[in-house]
Amino acid sequence: MTVVLAIETSCDETAVAIVNNRKVLSSVVASQIEIHRPYGGVVPEVASRHHLEIINDCIDQALTEAQLTWDDLDGIAATCAPGLVGALLVGVTAAKTLALLYDKPFLGVHHLEGHIYASYLSEPQLQPPFICLLVSGGHTSLIRVKHSGDYETLGSTRDDAAGEAFDKVARLLDLGYPGGPAIDKIAKQGNPKAFPLPEGRISLPGGGYHPYDCSFSGLKTAVLRLVQKLKAEGDDLPVADVAASFQDTVARALTKRAIACALDNNLDRIVVGGGVAANSALRSRLETAAQPHGIRVYFPPLRWCTDNAAMIAAAACDRLSQNQVSALSLGVQSRLDVTDAIALYD
């Protein structure tokens, strides 16, 4: 039994959770979406300030919900990379202070390792090896999870992350922020085959295409051109059809690469993580494509897809049970490859 309280403040959610290995005892997520909405995206300084204002209340609430006291905790963790530096600092400083005050081990957690662990919260028996398709607002990668904490990145985006593409296209279509859920919703009323759009492929120097890398900036430009053309023609913009066509193209690109990656690596499980794992088109396309190959796909429930602290606590529990702890001198980092997550521990 390992009980960890974790804090997640890498972007625009202030989240605190307490987890016993893979069992969630409490999870508090205070979203800042409404605060950033008028700006059409996350304003880093505003995010840091808001984390600071509510972090203590979130910590109190997590302890109350779990009906635990500081004595019951085996460790205190916080996301320390990658993310917005000022935002990360709030969570990491709070966690280190509490660790010092209550004499508990401190663990800095890699945010993407957290997204990988999100699937364990609903599937506690799940064990590596498997392929993880990690699709968030800042990252898009195919990762081979060899053992617990041992990762190899096999493919990634060459430009925009999948979530970033959703957010940018939503802005183009005046659907507001955050874009992913808005596109997902309106696409349900649209025809995904209305407009053929290019699925960005990465050419290899020796010919052919990279099997796992992807690109979304060309797709975003194609949607921009399509919108400009449709507007110039003077008719009402068929927003639902454009959204559905864009979403289907992203889902197709991700599905194709994830399946190829699993087959090439002889792995029959794909674990999906990150905010875009909530996307309904991706969920249905990947499930359907995986079935004939006997590949099982694990999608976390929606509340564990987007940023939360339960996934961070689950990752920390695993590290702590392997006697891995972080130094109190550990800093925050805006960028860090998940394959280097081991460097966070002594």
Least distance (Å) between residue 14 CB and ligand KG4: 13
Q: Is 160 in the site for ligand KG4 (CB under 6 A)?
A: no
For the chain, the maximum distance between any two Cα atoms, rounded to a whole number of angstroms, is 67
Pick from 179, 192, 200, 300 the residue near ligand KG4 by CB under 6 A.
Answer: 179
Task: List, in sequence order, the alpha helices (H) in 123-277.
Answer: 162-172, 179-187, 217-232, 239-264
Contacts of 298 (CB under 8 A, 6+ apart): 119, 123, 126, 130, 269, 270, 271, 272
Considering only residues 109-138, where is the footprint of Zn ion by CB under 5 A? 136
Least distance (Å) between residue 274 CB and Zn ion: 6
Q: Is the dihedral of CA 115, 333, 16, 68 positive or negative?
A: positive
- Contacts for 97-103: CB closer than 8 Å, 24+ residues apart: 98/5, 98/59, 98/70, 99/75, 99/328, 100/328, 102/70, 102/73, 102/76
Pick from 137, 155, 190, 300 the residue near ligand KG4 by CB under 6 A.
Answer: 137
Q: How many residues bind ligand KG4 (CB under 6 A)?
A: 19
Q: Residue 79 in contact with residue 89, Cβ under 8 Å?
A: no
Q: Is 8 in the site for Zn ion (CB under 5 A)?
A: no
Residue nearer to ligand KG4 on the CB measure, 25 or 42: 42
Pick from 136, 140, 157, 326 the residue near ligand KG4 by CB under 6 A.
Answer: 136
| Segment lying near ligand KG4 (by CB under 6 A), choices 18-26, 141-149, 180-188, 216-224 | 180-188
Q: Is 307 in the site for Zn ion (CB under 5 A)?
A: yes
Pick from 8, 113, 160, 184 the residue near ligand KG4 by CB under 6 A.
Answer: 184
Phi, psi of 181 (to 5 degrees): -60, -35
Strands 296-298 and 269-273 turn out to be parallel
Q: Is 91 in the site for ligand KG4 (CB under 6 A)?
A: no
Q: How many angstroms separate the first and last alpha carbons of the chain?
A: 22
Q: Is 141 in the site for ligand KG4 (CB under 6 A)?
A: no
Q: Is 190 in the site for ligand KG4 (CB under 6 A)?
A: no
- Number of DSSP helices (H) and strands (E) in the chain, helices first: 11, 10
Considering only residues 270-309, where is the footprint of ligand KG4 by CB under 6 A? 274-276, 278-279, 306-307
| Segment lying near ligand KG4 (by CB under 6 A), choices 23-31, 131-139, 198-206, 289-297 | 131-139
Residue nearer to ligand KG4 on the CB measure, 14 or 136: 136
Q: Is the dihedral of CA 135, 38, 88, 78 positive or negative?
A: negative
Q: Which two tokens stand for residue 91?
A: 């969570």
| Segment lying near ligand KG4 (by CB under 6 A), choices 21-29, 32-40, 174-182, 202-210 | 174-182
| Segment lying near Zn ion (by CB under 5 A), choices 79-87, 141-149, 164-172, 302-310 | 302-310
Q: Residue 297 in contact with residue 290, Cβ under 8 Å?
A: yes
Q: Helix (H, G, I), strand (E, B), or coil: what is residue 79?
A: strand
Residues forming the site for Zn ion (CB under 5 A): 136, 307
Kindly list the residues in this chain that would bind ligand KG4 in the complex (CB under 6 A): 11, 136-138, 163, 166-167, 178-181, 184, 274-276, 278-279, 306-307
